[in-house]
Amino acid sequence: YFNGGTPDYITVPNSVIDVSGNPITVECFLFIAGPDAFQPVWGLSNGGGGSAKINLHDSGDGALTIEQTVGGGSFSIATSVRAAIQSKWAHVAFVREGNGSSESKLYVNGALSATGTVSGNLTGWTGAFRIGRNPEDYSTALDGYISNFKITHAAVYTSAFTAPTSPLTTTSQSTSASDVKLLTLQSNRFKDNSTDKLAISLVGAPRISTFSPFDVSNKADTDIY
């Protein structure tokens, strides 16, 4: 749980996105509890303006936006998805299939919601990868929940799919465990369940919650410990 205040967020080494021109998938279950406003979800950036960056945020106007400015990249904007992520769990997946035009795709609950292009290499990062906060230190932070955050160095999804309904594993979606570089926010403590066992660092006070995308009987905000 990220309370949108202090702000709370999590960092992991930027090696999770160091993939040059190779494919990558960043996916999680997302529940936005806060108001219709800018809500950062995850990202990595070498600075403001035109610096190399890749991040996902809810822009507050009903759109999920993947911001890619790496070697002439472009924005991928999924419009009219606010209803799918506001006060309900949704599976959100960003996939870059490799180099080339329109190789980047954003899926919400398995549906292809946006496409974009990033022609440069996702490498040479200077900062840490953040979950729950924009890497450029915007004044806002995520007010909501993230579960089963997974980064795989492979194109896990290449077309519309049925969204997962159970916890993600290192071998789910027919991927090799060695390709999974991060699998976290699915345990009773902050840990990386991938074979890489990356260090998880907390900033502020993100909290473990029993509120789960796999048990709709749970209620948000009432069972945090």
**DSSP symbols for 93-158:** EEEE-SSSTT-EEEEETTEEEEEE---S-B----S-EEESB-TT--S-B-EEEEEEEEEESS---S
Question: Residue 148 is which amino acid?
Answer: N
- Type of residue found at 160: A
Distance CA 208, CA 18 (A): 28
> For the range 97-101, what are the long-range contacts, defined as Cβ-Cβ under 8 Å and sequence gap of 24 or more?
97/23, 97/155, 97/158, 98/21, 98/22, 98/23, 98/155, 99/21
**pTM for the complete prediction?**
0.91
Q: How far apart are CA 10 and CA 190, in angstroms?
A: 9
Strands 90-96 and 9-12: unpaired
pLDDT score, position 67: 77
pLDDT along the chain (225 residues), means of 10: 88 92 93 82 84 82 74 67 86 89 89 82 88 83 94 95 95 86 96 96 94 72 44
d(CA 150, CA 192): 9
Judge contact between 177 and 195, C-beta under 8 A. yes
Contact 5, 133 (CB under 8 A): no
Instruction: Supply the pLDDT for residue 225.
Output: 38
Q: Which of 147, 168, 183, 212 is nearest to 12 (CA)?
A: 183
Token couple for 108: 């919400």
| Token code pair at residue 184 | 């976290």
- Nearest to 89, CA basis, from 22, 171, 164: 164
User: What is the rounded CA–CA span in Å between residue 89 and residue 206?
Assistant: 18
- Residues 44, 25: Cα–Cα separation, whole Å: 14
pLDDT for residue 121: 78
Q: For residue 217, what are the CA distances in angstroms to 1, 36, 58, 212, 220?
A: 17, 25, 26, 9, 10
DSSP 8-state assignment for residue 162: P
The closest of 87, 40, 88, 44 to 64, measured between CA atoms, is 40
